[in-house]
Amino acid sequence: MALSKNTNHPRFKKLSMMGKRYKDIISEISNPVDSTNRFINLALDTVGDNSQGRQFLLESKQGIKKTAALLKRLSDYSLKIEKEVLEMAKTSE
Amino acid sequence: MNKPRVLIVSEDRLTQKSLYELICQHGYEAGITHSVKDVMAYLDEKICHVILADIAGADDIEILKLIKEKGYPSEIITMAAHGNIEEDLSDLAADCLIRPVEDKKIISSIEKALSKVSRGESRQSFLKKLLHKEETFYDLVGKSPSFKEIYSLIERISNSKATILLRGESGTGKRMIARAIHKADKKRRDKPFMEISCGALPREIIESELFGHTKGSLREL
């Protein structure tokens, strides 16, 4: 991201920091979400069709799905912030 | 191609382990490195058909570009968190996956990358045969560990007086191995290589065909 040195406005700094924080959080959370989902899929292959274990795993999968959707929303929001920061940087040049 | 090997590149232990299990479950061999920086050292040691790399930033992309330039016979699949990578990686990677990613998508990407690898491998081996004849072992082509084992066995037995029985299904290369043994034998390589199809010989005259017979002896049979 090509940022101008003149972008000292507090809103710019705040937005820039927020965007970065969001990205870090998304990156950190998406790893365990992704892996847990994969482990659940692997576990589903090992349990019986009508077992209680399968029910629990399917419930867990729903939880993971919700978290993944939340991550996607957070990611879209962070991209929006990034766009805004880039726009601000362009206008201040 | 032997069992294809997929190299998992990720700093995250959970990601490593879950991908490892998934990949092995689908019949591939899997290896793990903790960062993109370690990939080149791994590739110098082992042949890898697909590199499944979890990338975090521009530095990782630069290293992957270097790996591609070095000409390792591997296809790259990148994985990144949503919106983490802005660069277009279509020239570098066979596929770019965005986490969280479905298992089916990972496996189909690996299959797609492997089809590219096998196309490249067959082209490369054809060129190698044309350009680098020294890479063959008495006309046998292959660098896999099982082939290397066969080569060392041929070298060990070729100069002995032992009778060698080669067994294997039709088309597995018994004739090629027999020729290689003959060529590897310092004392016999200049003498003719006699190929006899025992199945085509009538049972009654097999001994005389192989070892000769005295004149008139066949009339008594």
Instruction: Tell me the ipTM for this assembly.
Output: 0.75
Which span out of A2-6, A30-34, B86-90, B134-138 was modeled with the highest average pLDDT?
A30-34
Q: How many CB pairs lie under 8 A apart between chains A and B?
A: 62
Provide the pLDDT for residue B119. 67
Q: Given B12, B22, B100, which is nearest A68 (Cβ)? A: B100
Task: Tell whether the model's pLDDT for residue B126 goes beyond 60.
Answer: no
**Separation CA B29–CA B19 (nearest Å):** 11
- Taking an 8 Å cut-off on Cβ atoms, the answer to whether A27 and B84 are in contact is yes
Task: Tell whether the model's pLDDT for residue A73 goes beyond 50.
Answer: yes
**Separation CA B121–CA B139 (nearest Å):** 18
CB B6 within 8 A of CB B12: no
Looking at beta carbons, which residues of chain B come within 8 Å of A45? 25
Alpha helices in chain B (DSSP H): 13-25, 39-45, 58-70, 103-131, 145-158, 174-184, 206-211
Provide the pLDDT for residue B84. 60
Looking at beta carbons, which residues of chain B come within 8 Å of A38? 18-19, 21-22, 103
| In the block, residue with structure tokens 């199945």 | B199
List of residues 6+ apart from A89 with CB closer than 8 A: A1, A2, A3, A4, A7, A12
Residue bearing the bigger pLDDT, A17 or A43 = A43
Task: Tell whether the model's pLDDT for residue B23 goes beyond 90.
Answer: yes
- Taking an 8 Å cut-off on Cβ atoms, the answer to whether B99 and A36 are in contact is no
Neighbours of A28 (CB within 10 A): 12
Confidence band of B169 (pLDDT split at 50, 70, 90): confident
Residue bearing the bigger pLDDT, B133 or A33 = A33
Which DSSP string corresponds to B18-78? HHHHHHHHTT-EEEEESSGGGHHHHHHHS--SEEEEE--SHHHHHHHHHHHHHT-S-EEEE
Task: Tell whether the model's pLDDT for residue B124 goes beyond 60.
Answer: no
CB A77 within 8 A of CB B142: no
From residue B216, how far is each of B74, B100, B212 by CA, in Å?
A: 66, 85, 12
Confidence band of B19 (pLDDT split at 50, 70, 90): very high
- Taking an 8 Å cut-off on Cβ atoms, the answer to whether B81 and A37 are in contact is no
**What's the mean pLDDT in A4-31?**
76
Q: What percent of chain B has pLDDT over 70?
A: 86
B19–chain A Cβ distance below 8 A for any pair: yes
Chain A, nearest residue to B24 by Cα: A42
Looking at beta carbons, which residues of chain A come within 8 Å of B18? 34-36, 38-39, 42
From residue B199, how far is each of B150, B167, B175, B181, B192 by CA, in Å?
A: 26, 15, 15, 22, 21
- Taking an 8 Å cut-off on Cβ atoms, the answer to whether A30 and B82 are in contact is yes
